Amino acid sequence: MFRRCVARLVQAGAAVVGTTSRPEAVDPALRSPDLLSLRIDVPLPDAVLRREQLTVLTRPVPLADDVRLDEVAARTPGFVAADLAALVREAGVRAALRQKSAQTPTVLMADFTAALEVVRPTSMAAATLELARVTLDDVGDLAEVKQTLTESVLWPLTYPDTFARLGVQPPRGVLLYGPPGCGKTYLVTALAGTGRANVLSVKGAELLSKWVGESERAVRELFRRAREAAPTLVFLDEVDALAPVRGQATDGGTADRVVAALLTELDGVEALRNVVVVGATNRPDLVDPALLRPGRLERLVYVPPPDAEADGDPAGRLAQRAACRGRRPARPRHGVGRVLGRRLCGTGPGGRAGRDA
């Protein structure tokens, strides 16, 4: 019906322009050569364009001297103009609250920094990790794992130009593996919390069930958005469900096709620039080995259970085990295991004061 309307318009000599934010959802028939034949993608703004948009958006805003729009632009990958407008508004609100009775209130860089904490890009809305205010400092122990992730995931995403200049090829992907409940998902949430990159996150099983029959398209879509919003961290949680060893499934080949789509995306006809893929699994043995080859999830990182021996005291051990059952407080500050251990075992804070200090 709608197609016929468009056809009639076109035949009558009208120029028809359609817009959509979900091109994949548009009936392909509408894209036939005699209808909407031309497709023009309007990509997400890059840092330069965001800088320009910010300049325009902040024109009526009294900015303090310390506001560096370049830096704001650099810290807002994935933001579209509407998001930037929301950001400027939020910064303004904060400035107003701070200086209720000032004659000439100004917006400081600090207001922008604070606004950046709460305003998230809409383009990411569907797949962003819930933004817990977690940073790597909140992740107890796991020093080595944190170091590896910082070097092989965070730095390449934060300083892509430096890496390119040095001719260093950062790893395309990392697989976190280890027993359940020991912080794999938590670690990636913490990486996201540093705010240096966009994070697109999917859970293997969820993606499969939500997109029954179209999971391959969901995978392609995910990577399309990752490329658009780069620098992006793509997090494939429970990747064993998404990419099981091929040739074993009983689902008529869906799983195999999803794995194939995933590999295609990783090998990328369209290069995955500034996109790092992190997978997590409790069962690396179930993951299709092709996914772990160089150029894909090439770096394997073991997330160990809490090291009871190294800690050496039963309270710590108990606490860490409790943590592994997901009972750590949402926002631990430091040495949580021990804080919690005290509570669990009824030890007073004085008990281990020296060590804790």
Q: Site residues (CB under 6 A) for ligand ADP?
A: 139-142, 180-186, 280, 323, 326, 328, 332, 336
185 is a site residue for Mg ion (CB under 5 A): yes
215 is a site residue for Mg ion (CB under 5 A): no
CB 282 to ligand ADP: min, Å: 6
Residue with Cβ nearer ligand ADP (119 or 139)? 139
Residue with Cβ nearer ligand ADP (216 or 311)? 311
CB 237 to Mg ion: min, Å: 6
Residue with Cβ nearer Mg ion (58 or 281)? 281
β-partners of residue 203 are: 237
User: What residues between 96 and 125 interact with Mg ion by CB under 5 A?
Assistant: none
CB 68 to ligand ADP: min, Å: 34
CA 202 – CA 241 distance, rounded (Å): 11
β-partners of residue 287 are: 244
Instruction: Report DSSP letters for 121-184, one per residue.
Output: -GGGGGGPPP--S--GGGS-S-HHHHHHHIIIIIHHHH-HHHHHHTT----SEEEEE-STTSSH
Residue with Cβ nearer ligand ADP (78 or 183)? 183
Which residue reads 């369209």 in tokens? 270
CB 148 to ligand ADP: min, Å: 14
Choices 2-10, 126-134, 185-193, 257-265; region in contact with Mg ion by CB under 5 A: 185-193
CB 37 to ligand ADP: min, Å: 47
Which of Mg ion, ligand ADP, none lies near 305, with the C-beta cut-off 5 to 8 A by kind? none
CB 299 to ligand ADP: min, Å: 17
Which of ligand ADP, Mg ion, none lies near 145, with the C-beta cut-off 5 to 8 A by kind? none
CA 120 – CA 193 distance, rounded (Å): 12
Angle at 271 between CA 22 and CA 147, to 5 degrees: 105
Strands, sheet with 299-302, edge to edge from the N-terminal-most edge strand:
198-203, 232-237, 275-281, 173-177, 299-302
The runs of H, that is alpha helices, within 36-108 are 47-57, 69-74, 81-98
Sign of CA dihedral 105, 111, 112, 117: negative
Which of Mg ion, ligand ADP, none lies near 332, with the C-beta cut-off 5 to 8 A by kind? ligand ADP
Which of Mg ion, ligand ADP, none lies near 326, with the C-beta cut-off 5 to 8 A by kind? ligand ADP
CA 16 – CA 24 distance, rounded (Å): 19
198 is a site residue for Mg ion (CB under 5 A): no
Residue with Cβ nearer ligand ADP (203 or 296)? 203
Cα distances from 216 to residues 253, 259, 307, in angstroms, run 11, 8, 39
Residue with Cβ nearer ligand ADP (227 or 338)? 338
3-state helix, strand, coil in the chain (%, to 5): 50, 10, 40
Which residue reads 């990392």 in tokens? 174
CB 140 to ligand ADP: min, Å: 3
List residues near Mg ion by CB under 5 A: 185
